[in-house]
A and B are shown apart, each in its own frame.
Chain A
């Protein structure tokens, strides 16, 4: 795991951002700037808008005001970010390795080969298993493998440690460390700080 492919200089920047769904504004006047090699933890109570902020940064939801910019990424190369939401996108009836190979084909086979990625996240022996039989924690590990099979500099992770066991937590922290060391950046919404003590934090408060 010593690939030191350094990502191009990249910067996720948001200015005067207001987020929400339609009429419901969850937070306004958010500004953030995260550069390559650094990470940001999003914290805040349930409903504060952590997931919505990640969706907005990923461009999956429109910003209600302000703007989001991904500086330093070449639009020709396709999307530069991974967004991992609450939903694992794991479908029963496809095997674990098929699911991962599908994601790799979809996002570009620029990283590890699927089997190696599965070994890395501790699912190496489950490759042939129907992905529908995976436990919630194992599905979460499979989602982490998705980050490894296609190299993209920006990781937007929504509760990545939900349902993960202690080893899973350590794995997640190690993966994020490696990613940052390679010049990538990560924005992580979480209630669980273990392993991320050295990342800066942005706290969202529930809008009054």
Chain B
């Protein structure tokens, strides 16, 4: 337990003192949303309709951007070898990594979402639903991301590989995430999508640390 907390505290400390990496992610997130009106034209109705999807795409891309700093620096400086011989099980360490990843790359995006909602002209009702679906869905993205980072950590220059590997895993998250905001068939289906999203997040968060631990042990030949 103390190992778990120590990893969490260390990662948060490094991220907060980290020379604006978090700010970069947030700016990227906002920029993706901000260029959308220029690309699709200033049609307010259209923008409001696609806004949930745009916010989800922006969040997805921004979270992929942070994947490479999740485990690679630890491998490069030898900390990963320490993790593998720590008292705390490797899966516990990686669970801490999932949480730290969510706190440092998903939470800031959620906090910045109001800016995007403003730029895209969303109404309040849709905005609150977007916030809720982001809160419920991004843990799954963080979990899949950690898994992807663990698979590719042994690969030199694998930085771009992880996003490609986990993209298919993240598709259901996007489907249900957007489905929970923009219901096609009435409010009943929106809540069903929300529940599925929560289930997906819980399952991914529970299983990915173990999968990631296996991937690291096997990856280091």
Contact = CB atoms under 8 A, between A and B. Distances in A.
A87 interface: yes
Interface residues of A, number: 31
B78 A87 contact: yes
A90 B82 contact: no
B187 interface: no
Chain B interface helix/strand/loop/mixed: helix
Interface residues of B, number: 27
B13 A98 contact: yes
A79 B77 CA distance: 21
A106 B78 contact: no
B157 interface: no
A94 B84 CA distance: 21
Nearest to B18: A93
Interface in B78-131: 78-79, 81-88, 93
Contacts of A91: 14, 73, 77, 79
Nearest to B5: A105
B88 A89 contact: no
A83 B79 contact: no
A93 B15 CA distance: 10
A105 B221 CA distance: 27
Contacts of B81: 60, 83, 85, 87, 89
The 6 closest A-B pairs by CB, nearest first: A87-B78, A105-B6, A89-B78, A78-B87, A108-B87, A89-B79
Given A93-B18, A102-B6, 9 more contacts: A60-B220, A61-B221, A87-B81, A88-B77, A91-B73, A91-B77, A102-B10, A103-B82, A105-B2
27 contacts: A60-B84, A78-B87, A79-B85, A82-B85, A85-B78, A86-B78, A87-B77, A87-B78, A88-B77, A88-B78, A89-B77, A89-B79, A90-B77, A93-B13, A93-B18, A94-B10, A98-B10, A98-B13, A102-B9, A102-B10, A105-B5, A106-B3, A106-B7, A106-B93, A107-B3, A107-B87, A150-B87
Interface of B: 2-3, 5-7, 9-10, 13-14, 17-18, 73, 76-79, 81-88, 93, 220-221
Interface of A: 21-22, 58-62, 78-79, 81-83, 85-91, 93-94, 98, 101-103, 105-109, 150
